[in-house]
Amino acid sequence: MHKFFKSIAILLTFAAVGGCFYYYYYRQKQAQAQFYAQPALKVAKDGTNTNAAWQSLPAYKRRLNNKFPSLYQDAFKTAPTSKIGANVIIPGLRQTKASNLQTQKLSKCQTMTPQGLTIAGPYILISAYDGQHEHASVIYCLDKKTGRYLKTIQVAGKPHLGGIAYDPVGKNIWLTGENSSGSALMSVSMSAIKKQRGNKPIAYQQVINLPTIERASTVTYFDNQLFVGFFNNYDRGKVAAYPLARSGVFKNSIASDQIKSVTGQATWSMGSGSTTMDQQIQGIAFYNDLILLSQSYGGQDSKLYIFPVSAINNLDEKNAQKVIDFPPYLEQITVQNGQLLCLFESGSKMYARDSIMVMDRILSVNIMALLGE
């Protein structure tokens, strides 16, 4: 009998220990699920969501630290040279009211895919297209100082918006896309961006065809020129430099010796200073005497290539002075006072999944830290 009660006591002890273990394990799992839970939806009056699409900032930082610890150190443990753009939420990833291309009426789009990023006057501008190609492309307009969402600007026509750049001299925003003739550069004025209200598509000032570039994926302003990059899935890409005229008929547009005018409209451009570059390039930026290229395709890690400016005519990866791994789906990059601002399309419903580092915010990284200096 004594052995029987002893056995019962042992079983009860194991049951109690097991119960406690299960309770704390369950609570830990519950806390972890809550920590990584998708944030509650917040929607502006115009129908664009303004909250982070997939994760809170603490969850985002922990995941980045786990998957890319060196990049996390450069972004969050190194003193930034500018706070503009850092950790700014990419709006509209869960829903955006945009014009339906068939009905021409506004409807909810849940597959907007960010492509381009630029700092323009008082704004942060992000271009995006519908990954299901059912809605018109848009430009998200954010406050530069606070990162606060301001408005969604509808874009006319059916362009697959890619890169976006700001010419601070001419005060124009330039976009890469396409029209019926192929790749094109489109511009809108800063004054039009400021005045734009409601759901009417913003009007282009110019549409310039780019016959030498099959598909323009990015555009960057630097030194009175527009550098336009071509994305290539299979072979080497291309970047073409287009000088901007500062006087004459084509003031603040592509220089007159680069375009042909028909009834006052710029209709084509060949580009001066063309050069080949590595395939799958999504963004190009300039910093001091350096050229930075972002490269991504598919769900594998992206790459950031850092070249000396002397390599402008041979942007092959073997000439890069440094190559750095980044999360998948890195798109356009831009420089802001020594910080590299990085936009990713992984926050789009088209690409987000548990197996990758989903980036639903702008990543700001100290460039000197990236260089190891």
The reported pLDDT for the residue numbered 280 is: 73
Is pLDDT larger for residue 155 or for residue 315? 155
Instruction: Name the residue among 260, 261, 218, 258 with its Cα closest to residue 242.
Output: 258
Query: What value does the mean pLDDT take over residues 41-55?
Result: 97
Is 50 exceeded by the pLDDT of residue 192?
A: yes
Is pLDDT larger for residue 310 or for residue 373? 310
Query: What value does the mean pLDDT take over residues 206-220?
Result: 79
Residue 32 has which token pair? 């972890």
Is 80 exceeded by the pLDDT of residue 272?
A: no
Stated as kind and residue range, the H or E segment containing 130 is strand 123-130
pLDDT level of residue 240 (50, 70, 90 thresholds): confident
The reported pLDDT for the residue numbered 98 is: 94
Backbone CA torsion sign across 351, 352, 356, 362:
positive
CB 272 within 8 A of CB 256: no
The reported pLDDT for the residue numbered 311 is: 82
Instruction: Name the residue among 52, 19, 69, 126 with its Cα closest to residue 326.
Output: 69
Is pLDDT larger for residue 270 or for residue 130? 130
pLDDT level of residue 275 (50, 70, 90 thresholds): low
* Structural domains for the chain: 46-370 (2.120.10)
Backbone CA torsion sign across 105, 109, 115, 117:
positive
Instruction: Name the residue among 151, 143, 97 with its Cα closest to residue 119.
Output: 143
CB neighbours of 137 closer than 8 A, spacing ≥ 6?
Answer: 98, 127, 128, 129, 130, 155, 158, 159, 160, 161, 177
Angle ∠(369,299,365) on CA atoms, nearest 5? 15
* Phi and psi, residue 86, nearest 5°: -65, 125
Is 60 exceeded by the pLDDT of residue 254?
A: yes
* Phi and psi, residue 139, nearest 5°: -125, 125
Is 80 exceeded by the pLDDT of residue 67?
A: yes
Is 60 exceeded by the pLDDT of residue 1?
A: no
The reported pLDDT for the residue numbered 7 is: 63
Q: Of 312-316, 338-342, 353-357, give the lowest mean pLDDT range.
A: 312-316
CB 169 within 8 A of CB 246: yes
pLDDT level of residue 265 (50, 70, 90 thresholds): very low
What average pLDDT is seen over the chain? Answer: 86
Is 90 exceeded by the pLDDT of residue 25?
A: no
DSSP per-residue letters across 13-67: HHHHHHHHHHHHHHHHHHHHHHHTPPPPP-B-TTS-B-S-SS--HHHHHHHHHHH
pLDDT level of residue 26 (50, 70, 90 thresholds): low
Query: What value does the mean pLDDT take over residues 230-248?
Result: 77
Instruction: Name the residue among 106, 159, 112, 111 with its Cα closest to residue 140.
Output: 112
Classify residue 11 by burial, with Cβ atoms within 10 Å: 0-12, 13-18, 19+: exposed
pLDDT level of residue 107 (50, 70, 90 thresholds): very high
Q: Of 41-55, 121-135, 211-225, 256-270, give the lowest mean pLDDT range.
A: 256-270
* Phi and psi, residue 145, nearest 5°: -75, -40
The reported pLDDT for the residue numbered 114 is: 97
Amino acid making up residue 29: K
Q: Of 135-149, 187-201, 330-344, give the lowest mean pLDDT range.
A: 187-201
